Chains A and B, each alone.
Chain A
Amino acid sequence: MDGITIKSKVESVDSSSNSKLASIFCMRNIKQGSMIFLMSAVTLILLSPVIYMVFMSFRSRREIMMEPLALPTKFHFSNYLNVISDMNYLGTVMNTVGVTVVTIILVSILSSLAAYPLARLRSKVSSLVYVFFLLGMVIPPFAALTPLYLFIRDLGLLDTYAALVIVYTVGHLPLGVFFYTSFMKAIPKELEEAATLDGASPLKIYWYVIFPMLKPITGTLAIFITLGVWNDVVNPLLFITTNEKLTIMPAVLRFLGTYSVDPTKLFPAAVLASLPLLVVFFALSKQIVNGMTAGAVK
């Protein structure tokens, strides 16, 4: 279709004089160039706090006091070394990675399993259950915090990773069910029907036929879960009391406190805490952008 539009445009241009053509292209280039310049400037301004954060992380307290906006003169890696050891950086990163991975596995299995009947069966029960799950998406995570705390306490799970894994897994189930159900509806039924004729059980069909086809949407879901777990402070502060078991953001929060923060601690801690997600983001930016924007277009 695009080819046709271009062709008709070329024909219409051909009929006019060549100089006019050149001037149109020239005008277009100037306009494009100025737009590119404008957006690059806007982007630079928006990124400046991030750049500021990185520069500040290498400066000594004295330098920051004397000249708040100057560039680093030499790189004070000592800032970083102090933060890494004081914050138990590697330990908290490993905690966060562990909790994230287990949560992703549990959410993807539990919610895709639930989504299978929801996508395939046309009954009152299944549509009711579907709506019931979606309800969970509008409930703010705060809403049930106190009773949830008491429940976890009664189960004897306070100060365990299990508490975090359970809370994160359950918190992401509605999103998972929503993603998988809409994705599965678009998968043709023929393969399953063939497998059923061959005598495969529903569970086998789910595991060998359906689940392998869910990779793209599982990727999207994994992005949302990762962002959710890495950025959460409330649940670890509530359920974890041992500092060594904290995940990254509450560890930063506890390390820095909230009043009059020391810049030589703040900025290296901010860079270190952001680094893992930024590395993943730049490595997978295309998939992440596609995942995050999926659903915006019908």
Chain B
Amino acid sequence: MKVDKRLLFLLPALFLYIAFTMFPVMKGISLSLTEYAGVGEATFVGMDNYKEIFQDQRYLQVLKNTLVYGITVVIFQNGLGLIFAAILNSIPAVRDAIRTALLVPSMLSLVIAGYVWQFLYAPMGGGLNELLVSLGLGSWQRVWLGDSSIALFSVAAVHVWMFVGYSTAIFLAGYSGISSEVKDAARVDGVSPIKSFFYIDIPLLAPAITVNITLATIGTLKSFEFPFIMTAGGPDYATMTLGLRIFQLIFSEFKYGSAAALSVVMILLVALITVAQNSYLRSREDKI
């Protein structure tokens, strides 16, 4: 049997991918069964790291925070993005200019956006509270990042702010694939714009919805930059997310075994959610 020579082309990429991605992932799984501080030998501790994760109230809060954060961002980023795209699609004169302008925040990095918003949210002299006073809405002032009941949502709002333009751009790309005849026919038949949005636009935008929800989910579940810079996970763990906790375990507590265990939990969580989401969203697409 003659093997196709082109299969050899796979080898360089495959070798690097196995050596620097899959091998470390496998090592991570075995490391998660140990206690290791970076030097000396790792001591085998069995499932202790996992037991700690699932018995410690704080870790349950971290899981809850991560999910609440993810769900909030996915809903608002894509909901607003869809509305913006629907409106922009009806005003071709300014559509491209506004689409570009809305993308500007997503060109800043998470670190920069985090710093700027930390300053905007500052309780004294911060841009947001000052603005509220000058608008005569002084009673709306909050300690945006210091109040544990709203801090997680304040941070999530920055995520939405940063990436809503990206969702809008993807939905607009979806709109460009909808033929104008369908919408014209609906209009001639007297279908109201609201109805045509729900019964024509949304079903036909199914692929764009899939892409947007998947990207936003993966993006939020693994991000740690905003809580890291704006709140350091506080107040009282209110904004501690999975990504940030892993970051802390590695960079400030040097508990590599626990970090590896939490990473394994994170891989499983992300994989589970994205697979479930994708199979649901794809089956929705196929029905149409």
Contacts and interface: CB of A to CB of B under 8 A. Distances in A.
Say if A and B assemble together: yes
Interface in B6-23: 6-7, 9-10, 12-14, 16-17, 19-23
B91 to A, nearest CB: 5
Contact of B24 (A144, A261, A297): A144
A68 interface: yes
B202 interface: no
Given A32-B91, A117-B4, A167 B20 contact: yes
Interface string A130-146: 00010010111111111
B10 A289 contact: no
Of A9, A49, A273, most B-chain CB atoms within 10 Å:
A49
B12 A139 contact: no
12 contacts: A1-B181, A35-B87, A38-B87, A40-B98, A113-B9, A113-B12, A146-B28, A146-B259, A170-B19, A177-B13, A233-B225, A261-B119
Interface stretch (B44-52, B54-62, B141-149, B164-172): B164-172
B180 A5 contact: yes
A68 B125 contact: yes
A138 B271 contact: yes
A110 B91 contact: no
B2 interface: no
Chain A interface size band reads: 35 or more
Contacts of B170: 292-293, 296
Interface residues on B, range: 35 or more
B101 interface: yes
Interface string B115-130: 1111110000111001
Contacts of A292: 166, 169-170
Nearest to A117: B6
Interface stretch (A14-22, A85-93, A120-128): A120-128
A38 B100 CA distance: 16
A114 B184 contact: no
B17 A146 contact: no
Interface string B77-100: 000000010011011011000111
B283 interface: no
Contact of B16 (A52, A110, A147, A233): A110
B21 A144 contact: yes
A151 interface: yes
A278 B88 contact: no
A292 B107 CA distance: 12
B1 to A, nearest CB: 12
A82 interface: no
Interface string A260-298: 010100110010011001100110010011001111111
A183 interface: no
B256 interface: yes
Contact of A252 (B100, B107, B112): B112
A258 B176 contact: no
A53 interface: yes
Contacts of A140: 218, 221-222, 243, 263, 266-267, 270
B137 interface: no
A233 B13 contact: no
Contact of A129 (B10, B84, B108): B10
B177 interface: yes
A144 B267 CA distance: 10
Contact of A36 (B19, B21, B93, B107): B93
A35 B90 contact: yes
Given A136-B21, A143-B263, A270-B108, 4 more contacts: A40-B94, A53-B116, A140-B270, A261-B119
A233 B181 contact: no
B251 interface: yes
Contact of B28 (A49, A147, A285): A147
B117 to A, nearest CB: 7
B109 A273 contact: yes
A117 B9 contact: yes
Given A36-B91, A46-B164, A289-B100, A142 B263 contact: yes
Contacts of A281: 103-104, 107
A71 interface: no
Contacts of B9: 113-114, 116-117, 202-203, 206
Contacts of B108: 50, 270, 274, 277-278
